[in-house]
Amino acid sequence: MGVDLKYSLRNLTHQPGFVLLVIVTLAAGMGSAASLFSFINAWIIEPLPFDQPQRLTHIRSLNLRRGFEISLSLPDFTDIRRQAQTLDSVAAWTFETYTLSLETEPERIRGSKVFPNFFDTLGVRPMLGRTFRLEEGEFGKHRVAIVSEGFWKTLLGGRTDTIGTTLRLDGELHTVIGILPERFQFTPAGWANVWTPLAVSPDQATRRQARYITLVGRLKPGVTATQSAAELKSIAADLARKYPETNLDVGSYSISLIQKVDEEAGKTIRARR
């Protein structure tokens, strides 16, 4: 074995290019594996950083004619909040891109607009400050913001006196009221840095044809995701009968949030191969 090892090493010294290629290939492979594990660990192995995540459900509408998911409208969300008996709470959210203006040049940052009870539905408390209040979902009272821990450290200097300061988002000053925990990440919304209330004008609130929100619900104790899905389908069928001009052939699609996160993790893993 010793003789074979010496022979192999002697041959490798005569082929430095090949040795370098092997080292680079191994390094790239190990780096890719480590990166892949970080995604698996964050999304699958580690439990979701929410209170009782098994009770959370991901809710969207379904185009019954073509069989694919679509977003919900605010009036549909209002009807679900009023009628759903299987849910303790339900909140709406949507993707958002803000123009952030600090002392440097304005830059685009990713974020999300959410119904004021969003973080309470997830069971998440900020590490500093507070969550949104219900009245902050009213148009004109919505200029408040909650930021991620990474955003706070990177762009706001990690100062303990950040709460109460202001950010200029899309040209409007927003007061920072909360900083999220380090581990917080709501996977369906992607890498969101800033969260603001989902506030709309009275006219927008009645536009049933405008579909741009997704829901997250918390099941009542003892209720299964299957039972809730059946109720949501019934509510969707009722809305289709009442509002055929906007809800005809619109059903409901809901799965557990854990299952949704697993699906998102799978997409990311496949994309990184």
Rounded CA separation 150/182 (Å): 7
Distance CA 247, CA 180 (A): 37
Alpha-carbon span 213 to 91, nearest angstrom: 10
Residue 35 and residue 157 in one domain: no
Which residue is listed with tokens 């209330």?
197
Q: Encode pLDDT of 144-183 as tens digits.
A: 999 999 999 999 999 989 999 999 999 999 999 999 999 8
Do the domain assignments include residue 267?
A: no
Number of domains in the chain: 2
Using 70 as the pLDDT threshold, list the residues of the chain that sit under it: 1-47, 265-273
96 in the same domain as 37: no
Are 251 and 192 in a shared domain? yes
Say yes or no: 93 and 188 in one domain: yes
**What are residue 96's phi and psi, to 5 degrees?**
-150, 145
Position 96 in a domain: yes
71 closest CA partner among 267, 272, 268, 253: 253
Residue 58 and residue 41 share a domain: no
Q: For residue 29, give its domain range.
A: 2-45
- 253 in a domain, yes or no? yes
Q: What does each C-alpha distance from 191 to 92, 149, 186, 198 come to in angstroms?
A: 18, 12, 8, 18
Q: Is 158 among the domain residues?
A: yes
Alpha-carbon distance 73 to 28, whole Å? Answer: 46
Residues 148 and 177 in one domain: yes
pTM here is 0.80
15 & 123 share domain:
no
With tokens 């490798």, the residue in question is 12
Look at residue 78 and tell me if it is in a domain: yes
Residues 175 and 209 in one domain: yes
pLDDT confidence of residue 105: 84
Please report, as a single letter, which amino acid is at residue 51.
D
162 and 179 Cβ atoms separated by less than 8 Å: yes
Tokens of 45: 């192995």
- Rounded-to-integer distance, Cα 226 and Cα 3, Å: 66
- pLDDT attached to residue 4: 56
Specify if 176 maps to a domain. Answer: yes
Per-residue tokens: 107: 């830059």
The beta-carbon contacts of 222-227 under 8 Å, at least 24 apart in sequence, are 223/86, 223/87, 225/57, 225/254, 225/255, 225/256, 227/86
| Residue reference for tokens 């509002």 | 243
Can you give the pLDDT at residue 262? Answer: 85
In a domain, 269, yes or no: no
User: So what's the pLDDT on residue 263?
Assistant: 81
Asked if residues 98 and 232 have their Cβ atoms less than 8 Å apart, the reply is no
- 114 and 23 in one domain? no
